[in-house]
C-alpha cells in the first residue's frame, strides 16, 4: 500500500490519473526546521523529513480496517523552484508574485522535486512499522517561460494562483499557457516524477 505523505492536490491528482492506489495522509512536518543553501539538497531533505515523520507516527487507526500486516510504502515529496541560484517558494503576496514574474519572463529556471520512498512492513498486532529500505533522489526539470507583457503578468497574478505554488506558477493550472517548454520530467514540474515513482515503487515485487 502506498501512502502519500502530503496534502498536495496536484500530487493527489497525478496519482489518481495514473490509477495508482494510495492513501493521502499529511505528515504535518514543520518545514521551517530545515535549512540548506544547496537547493536540490534542501528539496531532498524536506521530502525525507515528511516521509520519515509519518513513518514514525503511522498508526493502525490511520489505515483501512482490513489492513492487518503487509507492505507499506510512504512517499514524501517537496518541490522548490530555483531561479538564477535563488530558491523561489510560494510568493508571500501579489506584489512579490508580480516582481518574480517580471524577472522570469522570457527566462528559465529549475524545478527541483525531492522524492523519498520509505519501504517497510506494518504489523497491526503491535501497531508498529518496520522500515526495510529508504530510497531518495532529487529530480530536476528545466522550465522555460514565455516573454510576457506586464498586463499578462498582472492578469495572472490577479487570479491568485501563483500565491499557492512553488515558484509562483502551476503547469497544470492557469499558468500552463505561460510555459514555453520543459527539459526533463514533465510531471516533476507538478510535484511528483511519475517515471521515478514507477521505477522505485514496485522494486520489491520485481
Distance set, CA 147 to CA 104, 166, 178, 180 (Å):
8, 20, 8, 9
Is residue 123 part of the annotated active site? The answer reads no
Residue 42: all three cell numbers together = 534542501
Q: Which of 30, 36, 78, 158 is catalytic?
A: 78
In terms of C-beta density within 10 A (0-12 exposed, 13-18 middle, 19 or more buried), how is residue 92 classed? exposed
Q: Which of 192, 155, 158, 169 is nearest to 20 (CA)?
A: 192
Catalytic residues: 78
Amino acid at each position: 500500500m502506498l501512502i502519500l505523505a502530503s496534502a498536495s492536490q496536484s500530487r493527489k491528482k497525478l496519482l489518481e490519473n495514473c490509477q495508482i492506489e494510495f492513501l493521502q495522509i499529511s505528515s504535518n512536518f514543520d518545514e521551517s526546521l530545515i535549512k540548506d543553501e544547496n537547493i536540490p539538497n534542501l528539496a531532498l531533505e524536506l521530502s525525507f523529513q515528511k516521509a520519515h515523520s509519518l513513518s514514525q507516527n503511522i498508526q493502525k487507526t490511520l489505515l483501512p480496517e482490513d489492513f492487518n500486516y503487509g507492505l507499506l510504502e510512504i512517499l514524501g515529496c517537496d518541490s522548490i523552484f530555483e531561479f538564477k541560484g535563488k530558491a523561489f517558494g510560494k510568493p508571500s503576496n501579489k506584489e512579490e508574485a508580480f516582481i518574480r514574474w517580471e524577472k522570469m519572463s522570457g527566462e528559465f529556471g529549475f524545478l527541483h522535486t525531492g522524492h523519498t520512498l520509505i519501504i517497510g512492513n506494518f504489523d497491526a498486532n503491535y501497531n508498529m512499522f518496520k522500515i526495510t529500505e529508504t530510497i531518495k533522489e532529487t529530480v530536476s526539470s528545466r522550465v522555460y517561460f514565455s516573454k510576457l507583457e506586464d498586463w499578462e503578468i498582472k492578469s495572472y497574478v490577479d487570479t491568485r494562483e501563483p500565491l499557492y505554488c512553488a515558484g509562483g506558477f502551476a503547469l497544470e493550472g492557469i499558468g500552463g499557457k505561460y510555459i514555453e517548454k520543459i527539459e526533463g520530467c514533465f510531471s516533476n514540474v507538478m510535484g511528483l516524477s511519475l517515471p521515478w515513482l514507477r521505477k522505485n515503487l514496485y522494486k520489491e515485487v520485481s
